[in-house]
Amino acid sequence: MHSLSSSSSPPQNSADSFDGGAAAERRLRDAEERLREAIEELQRRQHRSYGRHPPCDHADESCVANAIGNLCQSFLLSYGVRVGIGILLRAFKLARRQSYSSLLDLKQLVSEKDLIVREEACRIGLLFGGFTGSYHALRCLLRKLRKKETPLNAILAGSAAGLSILALDDPNRRRTLALYLLARLAQCAYNSAKAKNKFHLWGSHWGHGDSLLFALSCAQVMYAFVMRPESLPKSYQDFIQKTGPVDAPVYKAVRECCRGSPVDVASLSLYLSRIGGSSNVNLEEFPSIIPCSIIHPHTSSCIAHNANALTATFRKTFPLYFSLTFVPFVILRLQKFMDAPIRTCWHAVTGAVRSTSFLSAFVGIFQ
């Protein structure tokens, strides 16, 4: 009997422990549900209070001081980024010329002739500093005048703060920046509508729909560059022309050939004689195709031309991408750079290599 009673006791203990665990789990779920309801109720009360009292985190004097602080901080950061990128690009330029002794000369490295560290950097600093400072100041002012916080405050403040673009003295740069921001605004509006299931373009749900859209965009841009160069901004034309391995007279001949117009044979002959190309090229006024001996006169192999285009593009654009990756990270995240400088440099190098490889592959494949 003793053994029988002792053998029957464990099932009773396990049942008791099971009931206790289930009860504890129920109490935990009840507590989580009450906590969730309390948080929701607090958020509802806070939202209702926003309509009556503006949720200003600072007093009026603190808002002004906060706006001035944001202005100064953004100005210094933007100025530092512009100057840092310019100095690093200048260092790459001197190293490419094998002027290693000039790298140790601060006057050569920070030269007003090759690097505008005063006016241009100051204008960029005023652009970003003026935008952030005026944006925060106007939001505080609208919050005080309208007695409530709504998205309209941010829209009005951002619109007025956008006048800081007048800090740039070049109308073409202002127009380019405005068009870029307009495209970003359209992108943000589309992403918001898509996230809320209100609107999306056909094919945007495809697995590689973004790649297809990028391919179509590249096709449009390169068609415009070759056939309708007047439709692109001058700076964009210059960038594509400088990055690619084909000279402008050749693109002009290709454009005339595609349109059925007479090719300027005299201009092509002058171009070939200037660069030391082959003099045995048979130039026609109405050719059916521009021969490879004109497109890449320095080599007879199309594969070698494509490989040279890829490597030349990599060498030319790597300093730019490295500067754009390394300098902002160092200036904007100085503490992280001081804690792990080698890791920061490695991330900058890998990011620059990735971006440069993309552009180099694009140029090589396009050729």
- pLDDT tens digits, 59-109: 455 677 777 777 788 888 887 787 777 777 777 777 666 555 555 555 555
Q: What does the alpha-carbon distance between residue 75 and residue 130 come to, in Å, rounded to a whole number?
A: 8
- pLDDT tens digits, 217-275: 899 999 999 999 888 888 888 888 888 888 888 898 899 888 888 888 888 888 888 87
- pLDDT tens digits, 148-193: 888 888 889 888 988 888 888 888 888 888 888 888 888 888 888 8
Contacts of 329 (CB under 8 A, 6+ apart): 336, 337, 344, 347, 348
Q: What does the alpha-carbon distance between residue 141 and residue 163 come to, in Å, rounded to a whole number?
A: 17
Residues in the chain: 367
Q: What does the alpha-carbon distance between residue 237 and residue 230 come to, in Å, rounded to a whole number?
A: 9
